[in-house]
Amino acid sequence: MNIESIETFVLELPLTRPIVAAVSTGDRGSPCGSVFMPCVKVVTDEGIEGIGYAWCIGGGGKAMNRVLCDDMSPLLLGENALDHERLWEKLYWATQPTGRHGLVMQAQSAIDLALWDIKGKAAEMPLHKLFGGMRDRAPLYGSDGGWLNMSVEDILVAAANYLAEGMYGIKLKIGHADPMVDVHRLRDIRLALGSDVWISVDANQKWDYTTAIQVGRELEQLGIAWYEEPMICENVVGHARLAEKLDVPIALGETLGSRHEIGSFLQANAVDIVQPDITRVGGMTEILKVIAMAGAAHRTVEPHLMMEASVHLACGLPGVTGLEYMPWLTKAFTDPPQVKDGQMLAPTAPGLGLEFSPRAIEHFRIA
């Protein structure tokens, strides 16, 4: 089943609400209003078409597209589309001097998704069945209603909607210049929602170790489910110290670009909940290895974003406990996975079970 042609393009999808999240240094910046989605279609000589995609905010989408077109596609034409491991290695080593992580790895991830889509279609099975068929739906938590630029009142409205839909909880952003602003906001939200509601927080790498400890102590008092990316993502030692000192679980992994980086945190006991992002870590091929590593270390996995593809992991494997509901990319697909009673249903179509929407391509294509 040889690869006959590859098509790539980029969509710029508008967000339902402008967002502001913390950053590791400097000002938090102006609200962002769109997300970029590099897309790829891989067609085989047997007529099977696989689709893959990545995502990014703040730029990089067109650069990924150039990597896909100029550096990766020529290496794949004529190759057997079912040889996903060999082709992953081929692309990795061809681009390793300038790649390894970042936009080059995200481009490779899009291709890897397309190859897995082809594999599932060739087997006439959805990917979650190929992965193990653990369950037919996965629980969701709401993650698009707690941004730093939202008031407490707006967050409570969003939370009420998620909880009414049956989702098991919500995630909120923290990371104001004065961390006590976050603490006071969280206290108000916890008081309004009650002690039984599941709440996690994400600092997006905002603080140094001292501040992270101080905030973590406050989070423990508020019964927060996990403390996500409190410090810059490269700080393995700092997160290990933090995990040892705090009772609130440390969650991270979304910004890490390989199984090797995530493995360093596991080896150092620096993470309790592993959050790999399919597009940042290297596609399905690599995230399956990350999940296996996390399982061997007795850590649970909560994939970051990419819920339309991550649902196959959550429904296929026992170590993936839930999904982050973030509907940024949903409008790009003709028939995205359905949500019922706060859970995402496993797709029944073969492969990813996704098709790009012609209308979305017409309206949002930029490259």
Q: From residue 208, how far is each of 79, 204, 221 by CA, in Å?
A: 47, 12, 21
Q: Helix (H, G, I), strand (E, B), or coil: what is residue 312?
A: helix
Closest CA to 323 of 304, 295, 345: 304
Tokens 């007795």 correspond to what residue? 298
Q: What is the C-alpha separation between 212 and 234, in angstroms, rounded?
A: 15
Is 84 known to be catalytic?
Answer: no
Q: What is the C-alpha separation between 36 and 347, in angstroms, rounded?
A: 24
Is 206 known to be catalytic?
Answer: no
Q: What is the C-alpha separation between 305 and 324, in angstroms, rounded?
A: 6
The answer to whether the CB of 4 falls within 8 A of the CB of 73 is: no
Q: What is the C-alpha separation between 352 and 346, in angstroms, rounded?
A: 10
Q: Helix (H, G, I), strand (E, B), or coil: what is residue 123?
A: helix
Q: What is the C-alpha separation between 288 and 57, in angstroms, rounded?
A: 25
Q: What is the C-alpha separation between 22 and 20, in angstroms, rounded?
A: 7
Catalytic residue among 119, 121, 171, 304: 304
Catalytic residue among 84, 129, 171, 173: 173
φ and ψ at residue 122, rounded to 5 degrees: -65, -35
Torsion angle of the four alpha carbons 159, 160, 165, 169, in this order, in degrees rounded to the nearest 10: 40
Active site residues per annotation: 173, 304
